Amino acid sequence: MKLCRVFVCGILAGCFLVNCSGSSRIRSSGSNSLQVKEFAFCRSVENRQPSGTGRNFPSNVGRVYFWTKIYGADRPTEIKHVWYYENERWLEIPLTIKSISYRTWSYFTIRPELIGKWHVQVENEHGNVLGKYSFKIK
């Protein structure tokens, strides 16, 4: 399976890095059994592990990463990290889970004026919420 890296900058000052497969259609029979085993908000990801973790970040943080460890995919499966600011949907990032236990992450570049409550929902390929996790920008 061909792998690629895609870098995208959103109009709302959000930037993210996504791994994707060369296939345009992802099949899965096990998306209902997916579980978020671990998660972290952090300042960076190093060697596929979160670094500088926290739930409160200053307004000049720059990027906030959302790192997840997903368990239960019996074949390549798509999930989404959906970022919300003050309960308004800002960004949706598709990610491909490629094994039974898989670490993946996305990030959002925080502008200093975006102070307040944030949360990220992890959704399976059918839009079912696997988890909702929050952090604050102070």
Domains of the chain: 3-21+29-135 (2.60.40.1930)
22: left (phi over 0), alpha (psi -120 to 50) or beta: alpha
Pairing of the two strands 116-123 and 101-109? unpaired
pLDDT 10s digits, 25-41: 333 445 568 999 999 99
* pTM for this model (two decimals): 0.77
pLDDT 10s digits, 41-89: 999 999 999 999 999 999 999 999 999 999 999 999 999 999 999 999 9
